């Protein structure tokens, strides 16, 4: 099955098929707010980073997204087709730290979507 991953970092970077180092750096940027050039307002304006995992599903392109916020909220979303107006589902976790967010992104990066679905999500 052909699949792609796309990383969207907190301040607009990222790209296709990121390395594990890229993913770790993006998560650190969300959780460790030590950039002397950023104000609290800038951190609030750009509160998250997300990882998309997409694959061909018949005549559709199915996309899962793991969106990690500075508040510790993580949203796990599935679009049956990338062009859909509404997701098939969106679930959340709260009080997630850097280590747990890394583990979730690792599952996504490894294509272990079934394992991700077994995590402790709430609607």
Per-residue model confidence (pLDDT) at position 106:
97
Percent with pLDDT over 90 in the chain: 98
Is residue 3 within 8 A of residue 55, CB to CB? The reply is: yes
Per-residue model confidence (pLDDT) at position 64:
97
Question: What is the average pLDDT value for the chain, to the nearest integer?
Answer: 96
Q: What is the DSSP string of 81-118?
A: STT-SS-SEEEEE-S--HHHHHHHHHHHHTT-HHHHHT
Determine the average pLDDT of the residues in 1-17: 93
pLDDT tens for 10-64 read: 999 999 999 999 999 999 999 999 999 999 999 999 999 999 999 999 999 999 9
Show the domains of the chain with their CATH numbers. 3-115 (3.30.1490)
- State the pTM of this model: 0.94
């Amino acid at each position: 099955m052909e699949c792609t991953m796309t990383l969207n970092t907190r301040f607009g970077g990222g790209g296709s098929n990121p390395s594990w180092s890229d993913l770790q750096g993006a998560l650190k940027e969300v959780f460790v707010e030590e950039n002397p050039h950023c104000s609290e307002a800038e951190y609030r304006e750009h509160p998250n980073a997300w990882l998309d995992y997409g694959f061909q599903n018949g005549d559709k392109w199915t996309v899962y997204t793991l969106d990690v916020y500075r508040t510790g909220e993580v949203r796990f979303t599935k679009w049956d087709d990338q062009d859909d107006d509404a997701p098939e589902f969106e679930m959340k976790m709260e009080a997630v730290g850097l280590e747990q967010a890394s583990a979730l992104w690792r599952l996504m990066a490894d294509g272990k979507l079934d394992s991700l679905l077994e995590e402790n999500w709430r609607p």
